[in-house]
Amino acid sequence: MSATPVLETDGLTLFFNSVAAFSDVSLSVDEGEIFAVIGPNGAGKTSLFNVISRVYRPARGTIRYLGADLLRLRRAQIAGAGIARTFQNLGLFGNLSVLENVLIGRHHLMRSGTLRGGLYLGFAQLEERSHRAAAMEALEFVGIAGVAHRPVHILPYGIQKRVELARALAMQPRLLLLDEPVAGMSTAERGEITTLIRRMHERGYSIVLVEHDMGMVMQVAQRVLVLDFGRVIALGTPGEVQRDPRVIKAYLGAQLEEEAAV
């Protein structure tokens, strides 16, 4: 493929007080691809998302987004650039309604300034209506339009996870960073979210997916990168990665440790 990758990192390294969270991570996500990042707990997956969203500054390495240097953007500009994320531990605004939670994702798309937006008149009102429609559409897409006016904190965990997905979609992103979208869900819910992610893929979004559910990763991802203790130990198609002896050893090691701890 000769097209510019959506996301490309080279030699990316992050330290937390001289301990490396991950080092020398080089990857490249193609347009429209579902690119999975897997690895045992503490491997550095969430930290990688945090570096891409400009929460942490990497010690070394480069990040290019659509060919441009991503490290030149500030954290609050990432959404406007077209990168949306969901959080492993939910990043919702508890006392706001579901619709408001989704609507806030469109803040960077709204034009009317503080004053006009504040006065809520004329143009601002028209604009407001179109943003509400877009937010509702995102809620419909993830299947929870029925709870749009409920405060988000009273809803079950599985629904809250969907609110995050809807908010990310409402941001009109090109690249989605999904951090464990099915963690803590029932088998039935997992199936539904997997279907949703497939449909997002059909819509053409580029997606980086962090997930512990191997079954799901193997079903949806085109390529998989495996991190272990912050190092890339494998990169390839789901089939290739599954057969890789280093991957088997890393996962088996983690499992043995867990058993020893019990």
Ligand X SMILES: Nc1ncnc2c1ncn2[C@@H]1O[C@H](COP(=O)(O)OP(=O)(O)OP(=O)(O)O)[C@@H](O)[C@H]1O
Q: Of 83 and 232, which CB lies nearer to other proteins in the complex structure?
A: 83
Residues 17-36 vs ligand X: string with x where CB under 6 A?
Answer: ----x---------------
- Taking CB under 6 A as the criterion, the residue among 1, 2, 3, 16 binding ligand X is 16
- Do residues 236 and 224 touch, judged by C-beta distance below 8 A? yes
Q: For residue 88, state whether it binds Mg ion (rule: CB under 5 A).
A: yes
Name the minimum Å distance from CB 48 to ligand X. 7
| Dist. CA 187–CA 194, nearest whole Å | 11
C-alpha 163/C-alpha 198 separation (Å) is 17
Q: Does 224 bind ligand X (CB under 6 A)?
A: no
Q: Does 47 bind Mg ion (CB under 5 A)?
A: no
Q: Which residues bind other proteins (CB under 8 A)?
A: 53, 55, 75-80, 84-85, 87, 89, 91-96, 100-101, 103-105, 107-108, 110, 112, 114, 117-120, 124, 128, 153, 167, 171
CB closer to Mg ion, 12 vs 139 = 12
Distance CA 125, CA 132 (A): 10
- Report CA-CA distances (Å) from 226 to 99, 106, 144, 258: 36, 33, 33, 19
Neighbouring-strand partners of residue 64: 8, 69
Distance (Å, whole) CA 150 – CA 139: 13
Q: Report the DSSP beta bridge partners of residue 131.
A: none
Kindly indicate which of the ranges 64-72, 86-94, 190-198, 222-230 contains the residues binding Mg ion, using the contact rule CB under 5 A: 86-94
Binding-site ranges for ligand X (CB under 6 A): 16, 21, 39, 41-47, 88
